[in-house]
Amino acid sequence: MSNDAGARELGRRAFLKGAATGTAAMATAAPGLAEARARTDEAAAPEAAVAAPPPNASQIARELSASPPASLTPLVTRPGSDLMVEVLKQMGVEFAAANPGSSFEALQESIVNYGDKPNTMPEFITCLHEETAVDMASGYGRAEGKPMVALLHGTLGLQHAAMAIYQAYYGGTPMLIIAGRDDGFIQAHTADDMAAMVRSFTKWDAHPKTLPEALAALQEGYRQATTAPTGPVVVVLDTEVQKEEAGDFAVPAYRPPVIAGLDAAAARRLAERLINAKNPRINVGRLRTPQGVRQAVQLAELIGASTSSQATVGPMSFPNRHASCGPGAATDYDFTLGLEIGPADVALMGPTIASIAATRDKMGVAFGGLRAKPSPPTAPLAPMAVKIGETIGLDAEASLPGLIAAVQILLTAERRDAIAKRAALTAAANRKANVEGVRKALTVKRTGWNSSPVSLARIYAELWPLIENEDWCLASPSVLSGSHHRELWAHNKPYSYLGLPPAGGIGYGAGACAGAGLAARERGRIIINIQTDGDMNYAPGALWTEAHHGLPVLSIMHNNRAWHQELMFLTFMAGARGRGTDRAHIGSTLRNPFIDYRKMAEAYGVAGEGPIEDPALLRAAFKRGIASVKAGRPYLIDVITQPR
């Protein structure tokens, strides 16, 4: 650190000390900001320290009027926030989603103005609620396997976003959250340890005190977010660091994370087992990135293994209509490899979020799904149970390059011939099984085909021929609408289906689809959103973000006019108690009045149509919707549906 920088840092720290302890002073009669900062002694009074001072007159004026922000360093020519943008560019961060807040106005200004191509890498994405910003990062992260940024304003933004962060943590979704911190402005918006509010459900956090530390923290945050267990990370950035003069400080080069995989010797041993197996199988769970999926395909093709996939339940798994995917010609597998899924003869399973829950959950909240669980009682294994073998606690994706290389070395011409024959048999058997499975599913899905309100199976069935030849992503959770895509659609891309809300939280879908729409817009992809009505109403402003940023999201309302699962629960509860099942709708339905989602979309600038109750009208409406989103205009079709 240069002397100048050191002097700046000393001054800033002295300032911070004063500001941090000045909380109580601000509660006194209308002190000016500078006056409040200067008054440090009174802050020692504990009763004052816990009081939440209301904004004073000047702060309110700043918040509500055109009063310009105080500039701590008015002659800054190379602000620290420009360097932060440089770091984000280096790491390939495409988007920063935010509901604007004064604690990151310096960084926001740099994003939209700095560089040869301002507002590019990252592009500032305007959200109407912080929950949407983080849900968008979830949708993007699950689709692409890499982080985007969600910018949050201090204590308020973090708390607005908390549920969405919690959900991202459960889902192991990589994202870089930047929380602005302004200790000199409204005290209710700041905190000494800002990240503590979400520490129990984030993977890593940092509150750097200097600009060099801030740049390093952003880089380390990105590494942490993308290293197994992937997840949301938080970097708290003080306004002073964002605004300070960087001088000639050079942005350090970004070093990608080094993720441990199998070493060469272990990879060779595993490759030998795969090669020597007469009927090998690879079960594929959720990998980290699309590159991992490509490598899993390469490995399966090299050894002619049959495979299984989780692509119909979530992202980053094996293409489920790949020739190898299915039971294969025979199910007497003599060696099974698990990639992020077990049990298997050998399962490569990197650490999950559950493995760090105890260290992050300092408050001992003990979130239900992440608590250490007692071992389940041992049950006798059924005949033909899946074999349980060795689980290696290493990241599968990081192990694949070495494993593929080892297999390639071991492949002889003779082996290649045998593998080709096996692969052909496997492909034929899988195609037959796949067709039979679809045929069987269709005999079920046709029931209620002409029903009004519309059958949910029909929505999925009508959609498939229209999107099959498009590059599509089903970004909405599907379980409440019957998950009919699982049997009817091909899930051949890492992002074909992005899965459920990881913690089961409603309100995630609309934002996640908008976030997936960011990735889609850049890649000529379209987003399919089977949007439940209950979910939509938590943060419908996501529609405006879709319109504003031209996101190709086709939202098809699963409008059953209820939080229907709750209606069923309530009905059961009333029935079990022998009381009025005819009042279970109270508090669990969306009636009187019905919500008009076409008008809602229109109000937010999204074209649409409906409500549709006649299923014969679906196909034409879907065609219009697909044409719209392919042209970069989001579209909403309100469909009145059967409840389930």
Partner 1 sequence: MTLSSKLAIVFLALAAAFAGGASAQTAGDPARGKTLYFDHGCYGCHGYQGQTGARNLVGTNSPIIAKPEVFLFFLRQRGNFLPMIPSTAMPRFSEKALPDPQALDIYAYIKTFKLDAPDVASIPVMGQIEASAARAYQAGR
Beta-carbon count within 10 A of 332 CB: 9
Binding mask 284-303 for partner 1 (x = CB under 8 A): -------------x------
The SS3 of residue 237 is strand
Nearest Cα residue to 542 out of 511, 516, 501, 509:
511
Under 8 Å CB-to-CB from 370, ≥6 apart: which residues? 170, 353, 354, 357, 361
Of 62 and 561, CB closest to partner 1: 561
Binding mask 392-431 for partner 1 (x = CB under 8 A): ---------------------------------------x
Look up tokens 């041992």; give the residue.
378
571 lies in the site for partner 1, by CB under 8 A? yes
Of 319 and 342, CB closest to partner 1: 319
Q: State which amino acid sits at residue 33.
A: L
- The CA-CA-CA angle for residues 172, 149, 102, to 5°, reads 130
The angle, 0 to 180 degrees and rounded to 10, between the axes of the packed helices 456-467 and 413-445 is 140
Of 353 and 506, CB closest to partner 1: 506
Of 32 and 575, CB closest to partner 1: 575
Of 107 and 419, CB closest to partner 1: 419
Binding mask 483-512 for partner 1 (x = CB under 8 A): -----x-x-x--------------------
Binding mask 165-204 for partner 1 (x = CB under 8 A): ----------------------------------------
Burial of 47-81, coded b for 16+ CB within 10 Å and e otherwise, reads: ebeeeebebbebbeebeeeeeeeeeeeeebeebbb
Rounded CA-CA distance 300/319 in Å is 11
Least distance to partner 1, CB of residue 171, Å: 26
Rule CB under 8 A: choose which of 269, 387, 421, 446 binds partner 1.
446
Rule CB under 8 A: choose which of 269, 387, 416, 439 binds partner 1.
439
Q: Which residues pair with 338 in a beta bridge?
A: 283, 347
462 lies in the site for partner 1, by CB under 8 A? yes
Of 101 and 610, CB closest to partner 1: 610
Looking from the CA of 426 toward its CB, the CA atoms found within 13 Å total 30
H or E element: which one contains 424?
helix 413-445
3-state secondary structure 295-363: HHHHHHHHHCCEEECCCCCCCCCCCCCCCCECCCCCCCCCEEEEECCCCCCEEECCCCCHHHHHHHCCC
What are 209's two structure tokens?
Answer: 């005190």
153 lies in the site for partner 1, by CB under 8 A? no
What are 535's two structure tokens?
Answer: 């979910």
What are 339's two structure tokens?
Answer: 């990639």
382 lies in the site for partner 1, by CB under 8 A? no
Of 68 and 593, CB closest to partner 1: 593
Least distance to partner 1, CB of residue 425, Å: 15
Binding residues for partner 1 restricted to 574-633, rule: CB under 8 A = 574-576, 578-582, 584-585, 619
Backbone angles phi, psi at 309, to 5 degrees: -135, 155
Rule CB under 8 A: choose which of 2, 71, 355, 447 binds partner 1.
447
Give strand ranges (E) for 519-598: 526-532, 553-559
Least distance to partner 1, CB of residue 371, Å: 24
317 lies in the site for partner 1, by CB under 8 A? no
Of 564 and 633, CB closest to partner 1: 564
Binding residues for partner 1 restricted to 545-564, rule: CB under 8 A = 564
Rule CB under 8 A: choose which of 448, 479, 486, 605 binds partner 1.
448
Of 119 and 492, CB closest to partner 1: 492
Rule CB under 8 A: choose which of 453, 494, 515, 552 binds partner 1.
453
The SS3 of residue 371 is coil
457 lies in the site for partner 1, by CB under 8 A? yes
Least distance to partner 1, CB of residue 477, Å: 18
Rounded CA-CA distance 301/310 in Å is 18
Cβ proximity of 511 and 138 under 8 Å: yes
Rule CB under 8 A: choose which of 254, 434, 605, 607 binds partner 1.
434
Nearest Cα residue to 552 out of 493, 606, 489, 478:
606
**The one segment of 391-399, 405-413, 458-466, 546-554 that binds partner 1 by CB under 8 A:** 458-466
Binding mask 323-342 for partner 1 (x = CB under 8 A): x-------------------
Least distance to partner 1, CB of residue 457, Å: 8
Binding residues for partner 1 restricted to 87-116, rule: CB under 8 A = none
Under 8 Å CB-to-CB from 377, ≥6 apart: which residues? none
Widest pairwise Cα distance in the chain: 88
Size of the site for partner 1 (CB under 8 A): 53
Least distance to partner 1, CB of residue 199, Å: 36
Using only C-alpha atoms, the chain has a radius of gyration, in whole angstroms, of: 27
Residues engaged in binding partner 1 (CB under 8 A): 297, 319, 321-323, 431, 434-435, 437-439, 442-443, 445-451, 453, 455-457, 461-462, 464-465, 468-469, 488, 490, 492, 564, 567-568, 571-576, 578-582, 584-585, 619, 642-644
